[in-house]
Amino acid sequence: MIARLGPGRRGVIVAALGTSLTVSWASSYYIPAVLAVPMAESFGLSPVWIFGAFSMAMVVSAMVGPWAGARIDRFGGRGILMLSNLVFAGGLALLAVAPAPPVLFAGWAVVGLGMGIGLYEAGFATLTGIYGRDARGPITGITLIAGFASTLGWPLSGLMLATWGWREACLGWALIHLCLALPLNAWLPKGTEAIRPSTAPPAEDGPPPSRLALALLAFVFAATWFNSTAMAAHLPGLLQEAGASAAMAIAAGALIGPAQVAARMLEFGLLRRVHPLVSTRVAAAAHPVAAMALVGFGGPAAYVFAVLHGAGNGILTIAKGTLPLALFGTAGYGRRLGWLNAPARILQAAAPLIFGAALTAWGVSAIWLTAGIGLAALAALALLKRT
């Protein structure tokens, strides 16, 4: 029987898990932007090598995701999330003490292992284990909190870098995992009542999902996260190619974070009464519409592009957890989520390189690549049916 937790306790659980996930995102996905250059310089390498190591970490995370999801289905998420903090701390410590590039790459591989068992997918599966089909609100809640990972993580990484150096910054994040995130995850309920790895789903979950439905949703996640990562890496350059000044491009880029949070608040309020498939379709349409505005109006549309893209991306992050739950139910949710998101992680690793090459070759017309991918994702969503 699913644990019945009062709204007060629910809020504390969401706050604890959201905070621990903020640490995990800030100390993995967001540290290359600040630490890659000094890290590379200390070994006499080009920063490309560090970003290549980070791409390798994302591939590792994709490989381990289904395993982590299956363990959460069977044993609950608390233990896996605690293990992720230990793995993150170990990988960051290995980066900090690395005497040579091979050890540095090994450290990034360990960080990738932590990403595979300690980011959103693990958090979503943990909440589904605690709340079952009522997990939509808590899932939205943790994305609202962890949406500030870059806002908090980049300045903190920069402060530690300026004060001590990149090695000490990695050690600092390792200590934050051990002293803050690990105790928060240890406090969570075990949460195994609502997710069952059984091959025979409970009656309320209906028949097992078709392979076509699973393939369509995996494609949607891969397509939308390719676009999200491509924009995260190249947005200022894209906007300048469209005619925006450097200052305008940076100012527009700064709107993406607030737009994501605003969209998630909308999902938490008004859109929570709407089926996740509907809100996901609207979110998937945001990037193609933004692309048309940018091509049609040039630099002056930079702010519109950033707001639309950011808002769509904010809701799509939530959809990674809520849409599989709404379409396929709770049985085997964690393992299924790991498989659904594995292609997305691999494409995320390749997105900066692919879109960067397109931007160099085609200029602002490269946006038609991501717009076309976004439209393909929208078409795939149109083929999915509510359950």
**Complete domains list, the chain, with CATH:** 7-187 (1.20.1250.20), 206-383 (1.20.1250.20)
3 state DSSP class of 212: helix
Closest CA to 131 of 330, 326, 386: 330
The beta strands (E) that lie in 13-90 are given as: none
The residues, any chain, with a CB within 8 Å of residue 145's CB and separated by 6 or more, are 14, 15, 18, 19, 21, 22
Return the pLDDT at 191. Answer: 65
Low-confidence ranges of the chain (pLDDT < 50): 1-3, 194, 197-203
The residues, any chain, with a CB within 8 Å of residue 200's CB and separated by 6 or more, are none
The residues, any chain, with a CB within 8 Å of residue 258's CB and separated by 6 or more, are 310
> What secondary structure does DSSP assign to 262-314, as a single string?
HHHHHHHTGGGGS-HHHHHHHHHHHHHHHHHHHHHH-GGGHHHHHHHHHHHHH
Return the pLDDT at 2. Answer: 43
Return the pLDDT at 200. Answer: 44
Return the pLDDT at 387. Answer: 60
The Cβ of residue 297 has, within 10 Å, a number of other Cβ atoms equal to: 14
The beta strands (E) that lie in the chain are given as: none
Closest CA to 172 of 88, 116, 99, 108: 88
